[in-house]
Chain A
């Protein structure tokens, strides 16, 4: 048992480190280090522009999407090499935010179901950041129940005509392409009538509207489709096989090993170590210590769970199911930590100004943003179902709509 690299891994790490040291946009290092929670913002520049420049440089140096095959813009690296790269990329990894959905979900789906010509054209441009992709799955009527989606695609000659609405689309406003799942047959049960496409987000009839979120920010969008024409050649997988195609996409979403899930604990420990209350330092209070200890062991538990997965990758094995716990644990931790950090400040805990003496409003922002961490990318409840069914082998829920034609499923309660 040790934390050391194998000689091969050490060599790869040294090469990566050297390249990053010579090429990283160091002028942003301090700013990126500071923005640990919530949305990343740069003072003077648009994060997408800076990200695109970094992504392009990485692609030229052979460090973009590095676990992809070389012919599609990657490096053909092993999974452990990708993890090592992420560790070395460090704070600059935050610049890759606009490309993560493309790299993690859209790209792998095109790779699995696209034609060779598509793969050779689109994937390298995705890898180099020239094209940004988004994922158009969720709908007002289908969040956790993705297969309940209603956006229609109807065949007309060699084209499909799409009408409907998507929601919660990250980055739709700056994306060039989108991965779109539609209903092509409402007369069969819901999982069977779906078909997957990709489309140019500049197509006529596509309208992107930002959503103002509960925390006041705008990171997601609604996307409306009005008679949008998509050529049949941009279909991914067979007609009616969209559900299976989407499973490839979503499986990749959850394979985020070694990713940096914020828990809020380091910030909280620092905060409590410095906060003077009427009874002395917050960290000297037994109730606070007990809470801190509980969060500490969750944070370390997550850290060493990911080390176990990295060790599996290092041995060339498939990691176990342990990593499915990450977001479930960290999401509510952020929320709990934010709530308690504000409690410790008394009435002043409600103040949000960046010039407030205590913690510069970071916990207030965490409080308002944290509900989304427990929803996006699988709600806490869906994640528990996944653990129960796929890890523990418990039966799936009894689904009343499973064998009913989609257009016969009731859409409103009583």
Chain B
């Protein structure tokens, strides 16, 4: 059994950590947090130069042609650094959708630009409150134009193109949904930034008015492609969440060792130790579930739907748990703007919702387990 990343993949993780430690310190995250920039452009450029943006994109489309295990280790480091760049929207959602369903011409047009950092992409799925479902998609496609509103759409205010889920039928079946590719700079689309709990990951509203769109994948296949894209993104985002969990745990641990109260380090009190031990337990469970998700993702295994849901749930819980208790270990200082704890708390709770909420994925997991048992 070799249920681990290879030495080369671990080296890539080390390289990513070294790069991000240098180029993405908390100070850089704060530039975006404080609203001085919509995202960290320099970092984005650097990620492209390192080959991280196109790590899972085949060489013929301008990527490094490595694979999804390599992308997982980079995702973990992006989460650990709380990187304020549109990595998840562009790489986990837009690029994955193109890789799964794009025509050769579409891949040729966008994937090289993703790899080089020239194009930011996103997935426009939600239309107000609620979780992913075909019924909730109302945005109408008529021929090659789209009309309607999508919100929230991650990183949409800075994106160059979007994969858009639209209604192309009214039978009440999944096949009413089709995907489209929209060049957001070609007119007919208005982007309005929305405020959200994690300003380091922007959200926006997109209004489509007779916006020109080209089909992505076959008509009526939209929901099926979307489900696969969300599963793949769930695994990748789960690695970010695990990276964030580990960092929050480390911050709490370091503070508990350093902070003296009642004449001793607070880390010597069992109330604090046990809180940190429990954080370690959730982070460990999440990591192990994520490894299984990585295996399923990289081998396109039939277990992917179940593995992705388990990774998503476990990592969401771990990051929420670790970031919340990191503040608790820090006490009052953890609640200041000055300390970095809240940046992880914000990211944890925003990540928990971005692909559909925890309860949605819990529901999915049980459905998928039942399907497997019935088969």
Contacts and interface: CB of A to CB of B under 8 A. Distances in A.
B4 A1 contact: yes
Interface in B236-279: 249, 253, 256-257, 264-265, 267-268, 270, 272-274, 276-278
Given A384-B277, A391-B280, A4 B2 contact: yes
Kindly name the residue among B1, B278, B286 whose own CB sees the greatest number of chain A CB atoms within 10 A: B1
Contacts of A3: 1-3, 295
Interface string A297-333: 1101111110110111011000000100100110000
- On chain B, which size bracket covers the interface? 35 or more
A275 interface: no
B61 interface: no
Main secondary structure of the interface of A (DSSP, over half): helix
A413 interface: no
B288 interface: yes
B273 A325 contact: no
A296 B2 contact: no
Interface stretch (B131-139, B211-219, B365-373): B365-373
A37 interface: no
A391 B273 CA distance: 11
Contacts of A388: 267, 273-274, 276-277
Contacts of A47: none
B359 interface: yes
A296 B281 contact: no
- On chain A, which size bracket covers the interface? 35 or more
Kindly name the residue among A286, A292, A305 whose own CB sees the greatest number of chain B CB atoms within 10 A: A305
Interface string A259-271: 0000000000100
A383 B267 CA distance: 16
Kindly name the residue among A394, A395, A397 whose own CB sees the greatest number of chain B CB atoms within 10 A: A394
Given A310-B1, A314-B1, A394-B273, A297 B268 contact: no
Contact of A289 (B291, B295, B363): B363
B292 A304 contact: yes
A171 B294 CA distance: 44
B145 interface: no
Given A301-B284, A301-B314, A322-B284, A1 B273 contact: no
B289 interface: yes
Given A322-B284, A385-B270, A394-B253, A296 B365 contact: yes
Interface string A386-414: 01110111111110000000000000000
B362 interface: yes
Nearest to B269: A397
B5 interface: yes
A301 B1 CA distance: 17
A392 B5 CA distance: 23
A290 interface: yes
Contacts of B253: 392-394
Interface string B126-163: 00000000000000000000000000000000000000
B286 A301 contact: yes
A398 B264 contact: yes
Interface in A271-302: 273, 283, 286, 289-290, 292-294, 296-298, 300-302
Interface string A1-19: 1111100010000000000
Interface in A368-390: 381, 383-385, 387-389
Contact of A311 (B2, B273, B274, B278): B2
A254 B289 CA distance: 23
Interface string B4-21: 111000000000000000
A388 to B, nearest CB: 4
B264 to A, nearest CB: 6
Nearest to B373: A273
A387 B282 CA distance: 12
Interface in B314-356: 314, 317
Contact of B3 (A304, A328, A329, A387): A304
Contacts of A393: 253, 257
Contacts of B235: none
Given A1-B5, A384-B274, A297 B295 contact: no
A1 B373 contact: no
Given A5-B1, A394-B257, A300 B310 contact: yes
B69 interface: yes
B313 A297 contact: yes
B42 to A, nearest CB: 33
A389 B3 contact: no
Contacts of A297: 285, 289, 310, 313-314, 317, 365
B273 A294 contact: no
Given A1-B298, A4-B2, A286-B363, A392 B285 contact: no
A108 to B, nearest CB: 25
B288 A305 contact: yes
Contacts of A294: 313, 317, 362
Nearest to A395: B268
Contacts of B370: 273, 283
Contacts of A308: 3-4, 288, 291
Given A394-B268, A395-B268, A4 B1 contact: yes
A315 B69 CA distance: 19
B280 A289 contact: no
Nearest to A300: B310
A315 B3 CA distance: 11
A215 B270 CA distance: 30
Kindly name the residue among A301, A387, A391 whose own CB sees the greatest number of chain B CB atoms within 10 A: A301
A2 B362 contact: no
A290 B359 contact: yes
Contacts of A9: 1
Contacts of B362: 289-290, 293-294
A328 B284 CA distance: 12
A142 to B, nearest CB: 19
Kindly name the residue among B310, B359, B373 whose own CB sees the greatest number of chain A CB atoms within 10 A: B310
Identify the 3 closest CB pairs spanning chains A and B, nearest first: A301-B285, A293-B362, A388-B273
Interface of A: 1-5, 9, 269, 273, 283, 286, 289-290, 292-294, 296-298, 300-305, 307-308, 310-312, 314-315, 322, 325, 328-329, 381, 383-385, 387-389, 391-398
27 contacts: A1-B3, A3-B1, A4-B2, A269-B369, A283-B370, A289-B366, A290-B363, A292-B366, A296-B310, A297-B310, A301-B284, A301-B288, A302-B288, A307-B3, A307-B288, A308-B3, A308-B288, A310-B3, A311-B3, A384-B273, A387-B277, A388-B267, A388-B276, A388-B277, A394-B253, A394-B267, A395-B257
